[in-house]
Structure 1
Amino acid sequence: MPYGVVHSTIGEVLGRHAVGRGDKTFLSFEGRDFTYAFADRHSNRVANGLRDKVKVEKGDHVGLLLGNCPEFLWSVFGLGKLGAVAVPFNTAAKGELLGYLLGHSRVSVLIVEEDLLPRAEDYLRKSDAIHTVIVVPGPTGDGAGGSGGLTTMPFAALEDAPDTPPGVAVSYRDPMFLMYTSGTTGPSKGVVAPHSQGLSVGDQVATGYGYTADDILYTCLPLFHGNALWYSMMPALLCGATLVVSRRFSGSRFWQEVVDCGATQTNALGAMANIVLKELGRLDRSRLRLRQCMVVPALDEDAGRPFREMGIRLTSLFAQTETFAATLYGPDEPPEKAGSAGRVHPYTEVAILDDEDRLLSPGEVGEIAVRPAVPGIMMQGYFEMPKETLGTMSSLWFHTGDRGYLDADGYLYFVDRKKDAIRRRGENISAYELEMIISRHPALREAAAVAVSSELGEDDVLVCLVANPDVRIDFAEIIAFCDANMPYFMVPRYLHILEELPKTASEKIEKYKLRQWAVENMDRLWDREKAGIKVTR
């Protein structure tokens, strides 16, 4: 990896492309094309508008509560040119969880999509930490009005600022993102990511998979998520390709959108791959230009055969928000390595450790641990969580909390999650946060959330409940409480009542017993989908 790429900033990279390929389309969104030159100039306007009209300075944290839209990227680029920090929030966050994220991140300005503003109103009224709210038009609105008496500014007010560079000295070491990753033994943690981390990921992926300026990278994943932001946008930017962004994933529209935009590459997370394979009847194969699809976790040879039969080469990797692409499975790997996350590359080290941090031999399953061999390609730490930062770095390895093994050829195979996390519809769910929220219901004494199998290949959520004495639990009421206070994907599908939770002598819940019991008793669980209860998005 050339240090010149790592030791750059987002503004420098965008500026170079504006000079070298200014007329080339960088972003395509809902029929609108934006060139590299436009992206550079327009992000200058946003940067100058934020500085001059909102008083955003280097180091300030600015929240982004935005769905997929061009304004998301103009904000990211503009903040990067100011040396300010973009804090993207999951657009499904609401209630207590959104309040925690807004408070913990110390954002002083919030850029919010018009349709999502009501979710933040309660926090904004109670707290004076956020001094400016900037509203981006939603799919059907104009973004001009306030809401509920709140004073807001339209995003368009930033866009009439001068398009000259803001002239702020920014280093590759400066934080560019504060990205929240689901907590497992505590609250969600904010990953402090410098410019060099995201740019290095883009270079790793573009180089490892052979992307060129002629490629068209399509993503329907949310830009607030590391996959779309770092593993689609950044590679496109680094190699001067075109990025096509869809507003959201739709199984029924996926292949049509891929064909219509002429995509040559796309990414799929978790259950997405299974869903789109069921929609192949909608695909006009005569128009398909897709040559690569990155699938995480990797598909084995049998599961990936339908892609390969269409001439689509599958790629994969192992990565986390805190790290980089620790391994890469490229388009030309041997067929017998299908299902692996790829090989360890020179810019990183990967080890498999036992519970005492001792190195395990090839083929032995343990915790996957990584560390960088190049400076600047990893997080700087968890925001205002020094204990948690140090805890993940014991023995000078970053402990991922995932289990896997390396084969004799250095290919990494993911096995399962050591952490108490649940992965559902491509989202990581913190069992701890879910439990903390649901346990606040007045009818409940305790709650334990565990993963159970889903028909779509990832996890569904089971919560085992213990009632307060002499209280009757109404399942529909519990779901309504969850729906009001957590993202839709976190709301449990299954509920079950226990007299008490199984615990160790130190009062730790023995969740493995709950998971084992659930496997044998799925037919006894109350299922909100069978009950016909829908949650809001």
Structure 2
Amino acid sequence: MTRPQHNFGYAYDQMTVATILADKAARNGDRTFLTFLPDGRTFTYADLDTITNRYANGLKALGIGRGAHVAVWMANSPEMIFSIFALGKLGAVAVPLNTAVRGQLLTYYLTHADISAIIADADLIDRLPECAADLPDVRHLIVHGEFADAAPLPGAETSSLAAAAAGSPEAPGVAVKASDLAYLMFTSGTTGPSKANMLAQSTAWSWGMSTSNSYGYRSDDRTHICLPLFHAAAMQCQTYATIMADAQVCLTTKFSLSNYWDEVRQSGATIIALLGSMANWVWNQPPAAGDRDNDVRICNVTPMPRFGRAMEERFGLRVASSYSLTDYAMSTIFTPHDPVSKFGSAGRPRGGMEVRVVGEDDQPLPPGEVGEIALRSENPGGTSLGYYKRPEATLEAWRNLWFHTGDRGYLDDDGYLWFVDRKKDAIRRRGENISAYEVEQIIDGHDAVVQCAVYAAPSDAEDEVAVSVVLKEGFELSPQEIVEHCARNMAHYMVPRYVEFRAELPVNPSLKVEKFKLREHVAKNLGDFWDRLQDKPA
């Protein structure tokens, strides 16, 4: 059963940056759109439209126009949002880049995306000279902040973003369609170089509408955004959703565990989001008398943690979740209105989305049977358009008219989706498929554990289960105690053979655990792991 989809009064051909921002300015005028928490600057909806016009006209004067691919390489800031929306008004393609990227991977992103201009923070541009020889097509480097006169890219004209921001406040007058390409979004992949997902102008607004509608955003909401804006969860979902609701963005530069709740309280945030490891870190902070002293209505946590219900009680909020992929779309949603009995699921399909679980032959499986999650949208312009310059990968993922996610799960009798694991994270042992996710949930449930990651260790005959564990400060735990905890709570073939303790897990800037690094680590350092079969380091 799907939920009805509200289009917020916009026809498909109106789903462009220029049309919607102008309409929001006319409707909301002096209503606050954005507060930048680090320095207290505020901007209204009228400011958003006018400032992005200025940016657009300034960039247009440099020769940046319709169809140009422009890298936006910046930390969270109002200027990043203005730059991205300005590019949308020009019909240019924004390519947000991870601020941690450098070297060969930076070169890969810039060349694969056919970048002709870069908008970058000043503290990042010293990474460009080593890439310069491979970037002959980059004609403009536009720098946010103070920078030296030396040109980091000899073949490119270097200018300041502040100068571009001084353009005319009038609309740039570029004819842009809802179907025009608006973004190339590199997924924050954990297995190596990412694919660039193509998003149309309509796609981004569709994701914002879905988020706002499904979670019940209100005009008096304040959305706290600490996730990086180069991530679809922060930009296309949180920011666009807030705009659709006529609400306010409370933006900070990055997630800080030590300042998190102080920032949420001081901003008056009513909607927050925790992605990946963030929820574990927040939950494992010592309980405090003021935990419920906040204005938060909804905490969107992906994936849904085992402690979700306890989190609601401790912090006095409601937990929501979703199953979403930058590669396709926001697909299912678990909202505060769904039954308590479905807690732990990823919810039901959002309006206009079909979800199917299929077997190896691509045929649908009955409720309760685990298979690959496949998706199909009924809304034109509401999903990713495929992988840029990767037609084979696009055809492989979109085979048989369904998008194949590479994730495993099952649907229950009521149509709720239950995530099991990533196909690539499944471990094959003793003829059984082991869900790394399920093993992690059990180990994470130990009172001494902050977080763990489970993955396959190399073996001559079959996979062996390895786990890297991060302990809470002040707690001690032996490998034997980890194994005993597992043996009490899971099937014998799931119990890890190899155990190591670490101060932290490797994560990318989106705070997703980089398991490919752990797999490489165990392959090279297996002798340093405790081995259950030998009761000593392997």
Q: Which residue of 2 aligns with 1:51?
A: 60
Q: Which residue of 2 aligns with 1:275?
A: 281
Quote the Cα distance in structure 1 between the aligned partners of 2:81 and 2:66.
18
**Alpha-carbon distance change, 390 to 313 in structure 1, aligned in 2, over 3 angstroms:** same
Alignment match of 1:335 (pick from 334, 340, 344)? 340
Q: Which residue of 1 aligns with 2:433?
A: none
Alignment match of 2:48 (pick from 14, 27, 39)? 39
Quote the Cα distance in structure 2 between the aligned partners of 1:524 and 1:157.
60
Q: Which residue of 2 aligns with 1:18?
A: 25
**Alpha-carbon distance change, 488 to 322 in structure 1, aligned in 2, over 3 angstroms:** closer
**Alpha-carbon distance change, 498 to 228 in structure 1, aligned in 2, over 3 angstroms:** closer
Q: Which residue of 2 aligns with 1:28?
A: 35
Q: Which residue of 2 aligns with 1:368?
A: 373
Shift of 1:129: 1.3
* Total equivalences in the alignment: 456
**What is the 5 A alignment of 1:67-78?**
67-78=75-86
Check if 1:297 corresponds to 2:282.
Answer: no
Residue 214 of structure 1 contacts residue 241 of structure 1 at CA under 8 Å; is this kept in 2? yes
Quote the Cα distance in structure 1 between the aligned partners of 2:354 and 2:323.
12
**Alpha-carbon distance change, 489 to 350 in structure 1, aligned in 2, over 3 angstroms:** closer
**What is the 5 A alignment of 1:215-364?**
215-279=221-285, 281=287, 284-285=290-291, 287-300=293-306, 302-364=307-369
Quote the Cα distance in structure 2 between the aligned partners of 1:214 and 1:325.
24
Residue 255 of structure 1 contacts residue 283 of structure 1 at CA under 8 Å; is this kept in 2? no
**Alpha-carbon distance change, 386 to 203 in structure 1, aligned in 2, over 3 angstroms:** same
Shift of 1:217: 0.2
Residue type at the aligned position of 2:52: S
Aligned to 1:165, the other structure's residue is in SS state coil
Quote the Cα distance in structure 1 between the aligned partners of 2:123 and 2:411.
46
**Alpha-carbon distance change, 185 to 324 in structure 1, aligned in 2, over 3 angstroms:** same
Aligned to 1:399, the other structure's residue is in SS state strand
Q: Which residue of 1 aligns with 2:470?
A: 455
Q: Which residue of 2 aligns with 1:510?
A: none
Shift of 1:498: 6.0
Quote the Cα distance in structure 2 between the aligned partners of 1:178 and 1:78.
15
**Alpha-carbon distance change, 518 to 196 in structure 1, aligned in 2, over 3 angstroms:** farther
Shift of 1:148: 5.0
Shift of 1:130: 0.6
1:431-466 Cα deviation digits (max 9, x unpaired): 9xxxxxxxxxxxxxxxx9x98444389xxxxxxxxx
Alignment match of 2:127 (pick from 119, 122, 139)? 119
**What is the 5 A alignment of 1:90-489?**
90-137=98-145, 142-143=146-147, 145-146=149-150, 148=152, 150=154, 152-182=158-188, 187-279=193-285, 281=287, 284-285=290-291, 287-300=293-306, 302-419=307-424, 452-455=467-470
Quote the Cα distance in structure 2 between the aligned partners of 1:451 and 1:46.
51
**What is the 5 A alignment of 1:55-66?**
55-66=63-74
Quote the Cα distance in structure 2 between the aligned partners of 1:524 and 1:517.
4
Aligned to 2:128, the other structure's residue is in SS state helix
Aligned to 1:415, the other structure's residue is in SS state strand
1:238-291 Cα deviation digits (max 9, x unpaired): 111101111011111100000010000010011111111233656745741011
Which deviates the most, 206-215 or 280-289?
Answer: 280-289
Residue 409 of structure 2 contacts residue 419 of structure 2 at CA under 8 Å; is this kept in 1? yes
Q: Which residue of 1 aligns with 2:16?
A: 9
Quote the Cα distance in structure 2 between the aligned partners of 1:303 and 1:488.
18
**Alpha-carbon distance change, 488 to 134 in structure 1, aligned in 2, over 3 angstroms:** farther
1:486-520 Cα deviation digits (max 9, x unpaired): x9975946735669x9xxxxxxxxxxxx9x99887
Shift of 1:310: 3.0
Quote the Cα distance in structure 2 between the aligned partners of 1:215 and 1:275.
25
Residue type at the aligned position of 1:158: A
Shift of 1:223: 0.3
Aligned to 2:424, the other structure's residue is in SS state coil
Which deviates the most, 334-343 or 277-286?
Answer: 277-286
Quote the Cα distance in structure 2 between the aligned partners of 1:382 and 1:451.
33
**Alpha-carbon distance change, 408 to 146 in structure 1, aligned in 2, over 3 angstroms:** farther
**Alpha-carbon distance change, 497 to 155 in structure 1, aligned in 2, over 3 angstroms:** same
CA RMSD of aligned residues (A): 3.3
Residue type at the aligned position of 1:23: D
Residue 404 of structure 1 contacts residue 415 of structure 1 at CA under 8 Å; is this kept in 2? yes
Q: TM-score, normalised by structure 1?
A: 0.78
Quote the Cα distance in structure 2 between the aligned partners of 1:523 and 1:166.
68
Check if 1:495 corresponds to 2:521.
Answer: yes
Quote the Cα distance in structure 2 between the aligned partners of 1:497 and 1:285.
42
Shift of 1:149: 7.4
Residue 205 of structure 1 contacts residue 231 of structure 1 at CA under 8 Å; is this kept in 2? yes
Quote the Cα distance in structure 2 between the aligned partners of 1:339 and 1:77.
36
Return 5+ residue gaps in structure 1 as ranges: 432-447, 458-481, 502-513, 526-537
Return 5+ residue gaps in structure 2 as ranges: 427-435, 441-452, 456-462, 473-505
Residue type at the aligned position of 2:312: F
1:60-84 Cα deviation digits (max 9, x unpaired): 1000111111111111110000111
Aligned to 1:304, the other structure's residue is in SS state helix
Q: Which residue of 1 aligns with 2:449?
A: none
Shift of 1:196: 1.0
Residue 276 of structure 2 contacts residue 512 of structure 2 at CA under 8 Å; is this kept in 1? no
